């Protein structure tokens, strides 16, 4: 099969997976989340089926889960700020609390109209991050809802977009690398002004004449480790199809990988990169 035919087939299969994921029944935002800051800028409506966060020059907004999670899978459908979103960051992540917190991050860095969003991922263990990988998306995340997922197992953490894996962080405790496994985490999301760094390193500022900026959420789902089949939960590896899709994303859409940034780590790359 030629490269273009392979890409076309892969995109079609990913679209089918996205439809399957998107058609699942979502949770209820009133039951699952608390609006935590930003006043009326954070809203739940549609009988608890839809949530929006807004940002204006005065403030952003955010929410957090009522429950804490220790392993499992979370899925959320997001439609990001459209148009000129430069300077804005929409963050969606799992985190525990305290100076030695663990954290698993999706952050969507806005851009000027016509330029792509950057999807920024990171993993913190015992308070230490610096494990950034960044991607462009293979679609416009402002036109429709897309599903962003985290699978957190004792063996590894997998980041997925429309059920396509984009990143895997493996448990490397046997090589002395801390792994998030003891601290329960809540889900957090926020829309905030980061125009001091988010777009082109802070060169492009937010255009407040376009405010308020709004991001949309729906179809939240969570599965605890007990809700997986035992074989599925114990499985330590992606299947062959998922590995192909992971390689496709990392080859064509990854724009930054801390594991190849030799300038940043002149004393040597982090242990997990070797």
Tokens encoding 150: 């985290």
- Distance between CA 183 and CA 119 in Å, rounded? 25
Q: Is 132 a catalytic residue?
A: no
Pairing verdict, β 133-135 and 118-124: antiparallel
Q: Is 103 a catalytic residue?
A: yes
Question: Please, what is the Cα angle at 26 between 25 and 28, to 5 degrees?
Answer: 130
Residue 251's SS3 state is helix
SS3 readout for 203-214: CCCCCHHHCCEE
Q: 102-133: b or e for each residue (b if 16 or more CB lie within 10 Å)?
A: bbbbbbbbbbeeeebbbbbbbbbbeeeeebbb
Q: What is the dihedral of CA 242, 243, 244, 248, to 10 degrees?
A: 100
Question: Please, what is the Cα angle at 162 between 68 and 216, to 5 degrees?
Answer: 65
Cα dihedral 266, 270, 273, 274 sign:
positive
Q: Which of 68, 103, 132, 227 is catalytic?
A: 103
Q: Which of 68, 107, 132, 272 is catalytic?
A: 107
Tokens encoding 131: 């494990």
What residues act catalytically? 103, 107
């Amino acid at each position: 099969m030629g490269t273009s035919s392979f890409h076309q087939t892969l995109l079609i299969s990913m679209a089918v997976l996205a439809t399957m994921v998107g058609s699942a029944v979502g949770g209820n935002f009133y039951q699952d989340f608390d609006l935590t800051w930003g006043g009326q800028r954070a809203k739940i409506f549609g009988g608890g089926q839809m949530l929006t966060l807004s940002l204006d020059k005065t403030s952003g907004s955010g929410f957090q889960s009522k429950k804490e999670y220790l392993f499992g899978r979370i899925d959320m459908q997001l439609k990001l700020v459209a148009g000129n979103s430069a300077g804005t960051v929409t963050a969606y992540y799992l985190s525990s609390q305290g100076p030695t917190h663990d954290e698993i991050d999706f952050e969507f860095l806005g851009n000027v109209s016509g330029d792509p969003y950057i999807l920024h991922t990171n993993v913190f263990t015992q308070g230490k991050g610096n494990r950034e990988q960044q991607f462009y998306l293979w679609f416009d995340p402002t036109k429709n809802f897309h599903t962003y997922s985290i699978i957190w197992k004792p063996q590894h953490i997998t980041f997925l977009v429309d059920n396509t894996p984009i990143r895997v962080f493996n448990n490397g405790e046997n090589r002395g690398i801390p792994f998030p496994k003891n601290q329960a985490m809540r889900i957090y999301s926020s829309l905030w002004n980061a125009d001091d760094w988010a777009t082109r390193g802070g060169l492009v500022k937010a255009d407040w004449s376009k405010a308020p900026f709004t991001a949309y959420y729906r179809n939240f789902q969570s599965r605890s480790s007990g809700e997986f089949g035992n074989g599925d939960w114990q499985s330590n590896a992606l299947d062959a199809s998922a590995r192909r899709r992971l390689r496709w994303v990392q080859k064509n859409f990854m724009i930054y990988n801390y594991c190849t940034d030799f300038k940043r780590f002149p004393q040597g790359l982090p242990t997990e990169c070797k």
